[in-house]
Amino acid sequence: MAGNLIEVTDLHVTYRTASTDVLAVRGLNLTVGAGQSTGIVGESGSGKSTVAKALVGLVPPTSGSIRIDGDLVAGERAKGYHRGSRWKVQMIFQDPYGSLDPRQQPLDAVLEAIQHWRKLSKAQARTEALDLLKSVGITERQATSGLRALSGGQRQRISIARALAPSPQVLVADEPTSSLDQSAQAAILNLLRRIQAERGLSVIFISHDLGLVRYLTEDVIVMKDGFVVEQGPTDQVLHHPTQEYTQRLIASALA
Partner 1 sequence: MAELPGAGLATAQAAAPGTDPQIVVDPRKPYLDVDHLQIGLQRDGLPLHIVDTVTVSLLPGASLGIVGESGSGKTMLCRSFTGTLGRYGVGITGGRLSIAGHDLTNAREKDWRPIRGRAVGYVPQSSLAGLNPVLTVETQLLEALGLGSRTLTKAQARIEARQLLDMVKIPRADAVLHERSHQLSGGMRQRVMIAAALALRPPLLVLDEPTTALDVTVQYEILVLIRQLREELGMGLILVSHDLAVVEFLCSQVMTMYAGATVEIGASENIRSRPRHPYTNALLHSRLGMAERGKDLVAIPGESPAVGAWPEGCRFWPRCSSAADACRTGAQPAPRLVDGHLTACIRAEDVT
Ligand X SMILES: Nc1ncnc2c1ncn2[C@@H]1O[C@H](COP(=O)(O)OP(=O)(O)OP(=O)(O)O)[C@@H](O)[C@H]1O
Binding footprint of ligand X on the chain (CB under 6 A): 15, 17, 22, 24, 42, 44-50, 94, 145, 149-154
Residue-wise DSSP of 131-154:
HHHHHTT--HHHHTS-GGGS-HHH
Asked if residue 10 binds partner 1 (CB under 8 A), the reply is no
Q: Is position 178 an interface residue for partner 1 (rule: CB under 8 A)? A: yes
Decide which of ligand X, Mg ion, partner 1, none touches 2; Cβ closer than 5 to 8 Å per partner kind: none
232: contact with partner 1 by CB under 8 A: no
Give bridge partners of residue 39 from the DSSP assignment: 205, 220
Minimum CB–partner distance for residue 152 and Mg ion (Å)? 4
What's the length of the chain? 255
Among 23, 104, 208, 231, binds partner 1 (CB under 8 A): 208
Contact characters 40-69, partner 1, x per CB under 8 A: --xxxx------------------------
129-154 as b/e, with b when 16 or more CB fall inside 10 Å?
A: bbebbebbbbeeebbeeebeebeebb
Contact 12, 62 (CB under 8 A): yes
Positions touching Mg ion (CB under 5 A) are 49, 151-152
For residue 223, count CB atoms less than 10 angstroms from its CB and return exposed for 0-12, middle for 13-18, buried for 19 or more. Answer: buried
Q: In this complex, which beta carbon is closest to partner 1, that of residue 64 or of residue 241?
A: 241
